[in-house]
Amino acid sequence: MATIKDVAKQAGVSVATVSRVLNSNGYVNEDTKKKVEEAIDRLNYKPNAVARSLYKKTSKTIGLMVPDIVNPFFPELARAVEDTAHKLGYNVVFCNTDENVEKEEHYLEILLQKYVDGLIVASNTLTAEKVRQLNIPVVSIDRKINADIPTVVVKNKSGARKATGFLLEMGCKRIAHLSGPEHIDNAMERRTGYLEEVGSEPWFDSSYIEDGNYDMKTAINATLQLLGRHPEIDGIFAGNDVMAIGAIKAAHKFGKKVPEDLAIIGFDGISLAEATTPELTTVGQPIYDMGTIVADLLVKLIEKKAVENTFFEFDVELIERESTRKV
């Protein structure tokens, strides 16, 4: 590969001049500029990004840390992040943390050593203190870490109220909730939304809530428990779509028809939700838009551009499909 020296030699100028035309900064005569550009073409010269990084202490790459890219929420997010990063001239290296602190810290260390310019994280193990120590911009997605850290989330509580309220409208009399893990803030917000909607109904008690761990297998069992305990349940609000799909499966096993006997609503709006039968009614997050916004925000922070806002709380939208019925 040709280097800047080769180009300089070809063009009969110094490397400084080549650098100037490369970065179009500083004065350079039109003719010499032309000469340099010809040399660049002739040699098919591409500047070495690593050398550049070393000097500038930036790498034009950002890190994306998610618990698990296989979790259907994240591919779409990752896609949006990568799309806009690419558009803005950044590459993205992605990391699966499995919500494991050691793994996360290991990644952080490596990424810092590589001069990544910023980080997008979906994590509940990361603390504000650690983020500060990184000394690079960090944006949190899907979860709130701390008020000091720029964040992109959705209105989980009001979304949960929408979901539960919709079930009520549909005529459901006993609505159960499949909850996400207690250590994930958005799960707790969704649970709170559910409680605000039905927590003071005369029939309600906490045995209408079961932990489904945001995952399908657990949700199947949890739903079976729920249905065994309370056969009168006629509506389930699941804290995410994956659990809602589990609930549909469990309902079938249990001999309940969805939506006739049991209405089910999810949360997230992942594309999986359209693959089920019946198709899942859900509270949809604008996942792609959120990915676009985080990436945009992060790059602005990196490039020290003005940002009008460092906290984005997106509205969610009820998407009515087949798993809930009008009575």
Partner DNA sequence: TTGAAAGCGATACCAC
Partner DNA sequence: GTGGTATCGCTTTCAA
| Residues of this chain that bind a copy of itself (CB under 8 A) | 46-51, 53-54, 59, 61, 68-70, 72, 74-76, 78-79, 82-83, 86, 91-96, 107, 109-115, 216, 245, 248-249, 252, 271-272, 274-278
Q: 24, 44, 55, 305: which one contacts DNA (CB under 7 A)?
A: 55
Dist CA 257 CA 243 (whole Å) = 17
How big is the CA angle at 121 (ends 117 and 125), to the nearest 5 degrees? 125
Selection from a copy of itself, DNA, none that 93 binds (CB < 5 to 8 A by kind) is a copy of itself
Q: 24, 34, 37, 56: which one contacts DNA (CB under 7 A)?
A: 56
* 34 binds DNA, rule: CB under 7 A: no
CB contact set of 202 (below 8 Å; sequence gap of 6+): none
Selection from DNA, a copy of itself, none that 91 binds (CB < 5 to 8 A by kind) is a copy of itself
Enclosing H/E stretch for 311: strand 311-314
* 211 contacts 223 by C-beta, under 8 angstroms: no
Q: Which long-range contacts (CB under 8 A, 24 or more apart) does 78-83 make?
A: 78/291, 79/288, 79/291, 80/287, 80/288, 80/289, 80/290, 80/291, 80/292, 80/295, 81/120, 81/291, 81/292, 81/294, 81/295, 83/291, 83/292, 83/295
Dist CA 39 CA 27 (whole Å) = 19
> Which span (14-22, 120-128, 159-167, 236-244) binds DNA, by CB under 7 A?
14-22
> Which span (2-10, 79-87, 196-204, 233-241) binds DNA, by CB under 7 A?
2-10
> Which span (42-50, 60-68, 135-143, 172-180) binds DNA, by CB under 7 A?
42-50
Shortest approach of a copy of itself to residue 82 CB, angstroms? 6
Selection from a copy of itself, DNA, none that 277 binds (CB < 5 to 8 A by kind) is a copy of itself
Enclosing H/E stretch for 220: helix 216-229
Shortest approach of DNA to residue 34 CB, angstroms? 10
Q: Of the two residues 11 and 65, which places its CB atom closer to a copy of itself in the complex?
A: 65
Shortest approach of a copy of itself to residue 174 CB, angstroms? 24
Which residues within the stretch 139-178 sit at the binding site for DNA (CB under 7 A)? none
Selection from DNA, a copy of itself, none that 79 binds (CB < 5 to 8 A by kind) is a copy of itself
Q: Of the two residues 107 and 166, which places its CB atom closer to a copy of itself in the complex?
A: 107
Dist CA 43 CA 306 (whole Å) = 39
* 304 binds DNA, rule: CB under 7 A: no
Selection from DNA, a copy of itself, none that 16 binds (CB < 5 to 8 A by kind) is DNA
Residue 74 CA: distances (Å) to CA of 70, 82, 102, 126: 7, 12, 21, 18
Measure the N-to-C terminal CA separation of the chain; round to a whole number of Å: 71
Q: Of the two residues 52 and 155, which places its CB atom closer to DNA in the complex?
A: 52
CA 191 to chain centre: 20
* 23 binds DNA, rule: CB under 7 A: yes
CB contact set of 43 (below 8 Å; sequence gap of 6+): 2, 6, 7, 10
* 327 binds DNA, rule: CB under 7 A: no
Q: Of the two residues 20 and 249, which places its CB atom closer to DNA in the complex?
A: 20
* 240 contacts 180 by C-beta, under 8 angstroms: yes
User: Is residue 151 classed as helix, strand or coil in its secondary structure?
Assistant: strand
